[in-house]
Amino acid sequence: MSDAGALALALRDAARLVARVAAGRSLADDPPRAALLDLAHGTLRRYGRVQALVTSLSRRGRPDAQVEALLWCSLYAVDSGRYAEYTVVDQAVRACALLEREPAKGYVNGLLRSYLRRRAALENSLRADLEARYQHPRWWIELVRSAYPDQWEPVLAAGNNPPPMTLRVNRRRLTVEAYAAKLAAEGIQARPLGGPALLLPQAVPVARLPGFAAGEVSVQDAGAQRAARCLDLVAGQTVLDACAAPGGKTAHVLETADVQLTALDVDPARCERIGSNLERLALTARVRAADCMRPADWWDGKAFDRVLADVPCTSSGVARRHPDLKWLRRASDVPAFAARQAKILEALWQVLAPGGKLLYVTCSVFPQENEALVEGFVARAQGARRLPLPDGGPDQWLPAAEHDGFFYALIQKQA
């Protein structure tokens, strides 16, 4: 099949995936094949824009859901610059047949050609549409703008770009410099970010990473790598990773210090992923499938010196890794997550030893899940004291070119 014919098939398959997201289903339910990542993820990163364009250009009201999704994907394909414009139009028309939407051929052809003729004027008209301009739901835009009045536009812009690929070198096996040399020998460029982190300017398949199967390196965002640094670890401590799956932070803690670690996750299948990651890295931890909010089900009464609470959240700081997420979230999800996070903190405070430290972590940029929640907890929890982060960095890392958005707070239980 020609490359052009392959594009028709890719547009069909991407349209089906994006239509499912529009209907409220997560891509995690049916992950796209690698060949579809650009079309599906790219369309969803520009979802606000392509929705507005189809609405502006359609003269017959909202089309069939599959056709509408095909148009969204086709508009992204045109704007991506990866294909000739006439090729996209031709292949989108062919994709109508592949979607069993033959009668829509003329409509799809006409709308896409109208876009190509009127592109400049349409660009100007979209500037007033916040969702089309910033590619996020309006409520999300307003939350970020309120929280970061001087940085809100770069934060939103970062959420629309492909994420960086960062590695964590297992320094129990080799130095960062030695692993960087291994990458260079394979023709893979890398830049050190401090500690065990290496940033790849160009993402590569994990199978191309030398020593990956042997446990020399893992893929982990630089923002996530702060957890092990900020736990203030000392050899011999007992550590609880309370929401551990898939095990990246668990492994990094064990690579950093000789501690006795218990890793919990409520989902048994996700616990298997923790075990697989630890096995690859030749690390050992006690892994339990249990709900951290119910200590009576899993805790033996021996308090932990350190607790890592990487709590479930809106994931607003890592939305570029899951571009369907920002369109599936609702404003009501923010207080719902915050209520659950508060309950997790209350439960984990019980298992922390006097003098011990709890590290609260989210991959969110919404203060309701972060600063506001931690301040409220410290104010009401007996013996709770907020400490500066050991790495000297700010509590809130906003998403940027080198890392995702993460929030960290270190809380000590006074003896």
Show which residues are catalytic. Answer: 363
What is the C-alpha separation between 369 and 371, in angstroms, rounded? Answer: 7
356, containing H or E segment: strand 352-362
Backbone phi, then psi, for 172, in 5-degree steps? -75, -20
What is the C-alpha separation between 286 and 308, in angstroms, rounded? Answer: 15
Backbone phi, then psi, for 199, in 5-degree steps? -95, 130
- C-alpha 30: how far from its chain's center? 17
From residue 270, how far is each of 218, 267, 316, 345 by CA, in Å?
17, 5, 21, 21
Question: Which residue, among 403, 9, 373, 79, has the nearest Cα to 221 in the 3D structure?
Answer: 403
From residue 113, how far is each of 57, 76, 119, 380 by CA, in Å?
10, 14, 10, 61
Q: List for the chain the helix, strand, coil content (%; round to 5).
A: 50, 15, 35
DSSP per-residue string spanning 371-397: HHHHHHHHHHSTTEEEE--TT---SEE
